[in-house]
Amino acid sequence: MITTRLDTGARFLDAVGLTARRVIDDEDVEWLRVIRNTCRLGFAADNSVITARQQEAWWQKNEQRIVAYLYQDDEGFIVGYALLRMTDDGRWWSSVATLPPYIGRGYGGSMTAHIIRQSPTGVVYGQARKDNPAACRLHHIRDWLVIGEDERLMTYKTREPLS
Ligand SMILES: CC(C)(COP(=O)(O)OP(=O)(O)OC[C@H]1O[C@@H](n2cnc3c(N)ncnc32)[C@H](O)[C@@H]1OP(=O)(O)O)[C@@H](O)C(=O)NCCC(=O)NCCS
C-alpha cells in the first residue's frame, strides 16, 4: 500500500514499511545531525563532523529552504533521513542517509523516491561520488537523468514529470 500526504506529521507507507515525518522541532533537527554525522563519509561535499551548536545555527539560517523528513520502520525505529535543500540559484538538492544497521534493505531507494516528490518546484538535483556505488544507485534511471560527470562526481536531475 502506498499512501502519501505532504502535510506535517503525514505518513508515508510503502513497500518497505517506512513512515515519514516532517522535521520541524529541535529534537528532529538533532536527529538529522546524529544521522548525518554517522553517515558523513559517504557524502559528496562536506564530510566534517557537525556540532550541536553548528546544527542549530544551520537550521535557524536555512529552515525556510529545507524540506526534511525522518523515516521510521514498522517497529518505530528511526532508520534515516532524506532532505531537500535549496541553493541560492533556486535549485533543490537531495540528500539521503540510512543508518548503518539498516543499510541494504531498500530504505535508501524508498526515501529517495519519497523526498524527490516533495519538491516545491517538481525538479530535484543530486550528486553522488563515483566511489560510492550505493549512492550512485539511488539515482535510478526511472527517476533521474545524468547531467554532469567528472573524475569524482556524478550530477543528476530528476526527469520531468516524475512517473
Ligand atoms: C547511500 C545510502 C543512502 C544507501 O542506503 P540503503 O538504505 O542501503 O539503500 P538501498 O538498500 O535502497 O540501496 C540503494 C541501491 O544501492 C544498491 N547498493 C546498496 N549497497 C551497494 C553497494 N555496496 N554497492 C553497490 N550497490 C549497492 C542497492 O542494490 C540499491 O540499488 P537498486 O535500487 O538498483 O536495487 C547509504 O549507504 C548511506 O546512507 N550512505 C552514507 C551516506 C550517503 O552516501 N548518502 C548518499 C549521498 S548521495
Q: Which residues of 55-70 are buried (b: 16+ CB within 10 A; e: fewer)?
A: beebbeeeeeebbbbb
- Cell for 153? 562526481
Which strands form 19-22's sheet, in the order they lie side by side? 19-22, 66-72, 78-86, 92-98, 125-129, 153-158, 144-149
Residues with CB under 6 A from ligand 1: 39, 42-44, 96-98, 103-109, 128, 132-135, 137-138, 140
Predicted TM-score (pTM) of the model is 0.92
Atom 27 of ligand 1, nearest CA residue? 134
Residue of 137, 143, 153 with the most ligand 1 atoms within 8 Å of its CB, for mutation: 137
In the chain the domains, ranked by start, together with CATH numbers, are 3-158 (3.40.630.30)
Q: What is the pLDDT along the chain (163 residues), one digit of tens a residue?
A: 333 333 445 556 677 889 999 999 999 999 999 999 999 999 988 899 999 999 999 999 999 999 999 999 988 999 999 999 999 999 999 999 999 999 999 999 999 999 999 999 999 999 999 999 999 999 988 899 999 999 999 999 999 888 7
